[in-house]
């Protein structure tokens, strides 16, 4: 899978082998700037502690203290194709949310009372699924195989994926080089990656 990649964007079909969740598949973000927030340490000597009030978080980017924060996806999928080589793909919230059709907040609430290591069924159901991934490759991706690829778009529509895979394998059968980095790949009408 990684042998033919060039710097730029490419689309490939891959099967999800696992979903990484170490430490978590989401992060708590500032509702203003979407940066990671830290729990705010209240000062008990100033009377800041109130058992009734929601927990507070500090955003170092905004330099503000908030109680309204939200979970955002930072999802890492291990995927493979017919070569059986495993690679890591990173989906940020702006990619994962439309693909999964659920917010990270909703999924995090689903497992609030369960062990921290438990992954919501929405994520565990991705294992074994074949999908198309539009990824961005950089110099780092070409230097080592341990680097994670950033995903820009995910398509899991079975008919679309099947047509892409059949078209790609027919190019290989005809001894055509399949260079996905050009993005001049087959697309069904009215659908863009």
Give the pLDDT mean for 63-87.
Answer: 88
Distance CA 176, CA 35 (A): 45
According to CATH, the superfamily of the domain at 8-29+70-182 is: Nucleic acid-binding proteins (2.40.50.140)
Give the pLDDT mean for 76-99.
Answer: 89
Q: What is the pLDDT of residue 55?
A: 87
pLDDT band at 10 (very low <50, low <70, confident <90, very high): confident
Q: What is the pLDDT of residue 151?
A: 95
pLDDT band at 1 (very low <50, low <70, confident <90, very high): very low
From 30, 180, 19, 143, select the one nearest 86 (Cα to Cα). 19
Q: What is the pLDDT of residue 186?
A: 32
**% pLDDT > 90, the chain:** 41
Q: Are 149 and 89 in contact (CB under 8 A)?
A: yes
Strand, coil or helix: 71: strand
Burial of 110 per CB tally in 10 Å (0-12, 13-18, 19+): middle
Q: What is the pLDDT of residues 149-185, one digit of tens each?
A: 899 999 999 999 999 888 866 655 544 434 433 222 3
Residue 14: CB atoms within 10 Å: 23
pLDDT at 56 over 80: yes
Residue 107: CB atoms within 10 Å: 20
Apex CA 122: angle with CA 119 and CA 127, to 5°?
A: 80
Q: What is the pLDDT of residue 44?
A: 54
Q: What is the pLDDT of residue 138?
A: 81
Strand, coil or helix: 154: strand
Q: What is the pLDDT of residues 95-138, one digit of tens each?
A: 999 999 999 999 988 887 777 667 788 999 999 999 999 998 88
């Amino acid at each position: 899978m990684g042998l033919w990649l060039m710097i730029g964007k490419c689309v490939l079909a891959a099967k999800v082998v696992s979903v990484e969740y170490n430490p978590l598949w989401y992060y708590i973000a500032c509702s203003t700037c979407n940066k990671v927030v830290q729990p705010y340490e209240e000062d008990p000597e100033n009377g800041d502690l109130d058992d009734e009030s929601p927990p507070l978080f500090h955003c170092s980017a905004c330099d503000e203290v908030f109680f309204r924060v939200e979970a955002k996806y930072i999802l890492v999928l291990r995927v493979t194709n017919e070569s059986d080589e495993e690679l890591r793909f990173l989906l940020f919230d702006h990619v994962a949310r439309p693909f999964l059709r659920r917010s990270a907040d909703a999924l995090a609430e689903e497992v609030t009372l369960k062990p921290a290591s438990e992954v919501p069924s929405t994520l565990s159901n991705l294992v074994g699924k074949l999908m198309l991934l539009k990824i961005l490759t950089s110099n780092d991706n070409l230097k080592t195989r341990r680097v994670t690829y950033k995903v820009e778009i995910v398509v899991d529509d079975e008919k679309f994926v099947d047509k892409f895979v059949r078209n790609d394998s027919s190019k290989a059968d005809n001894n055509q080089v399949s260079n996905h980095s050009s993005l001049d790949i087959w697309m069904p009408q009215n659908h863009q990656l």
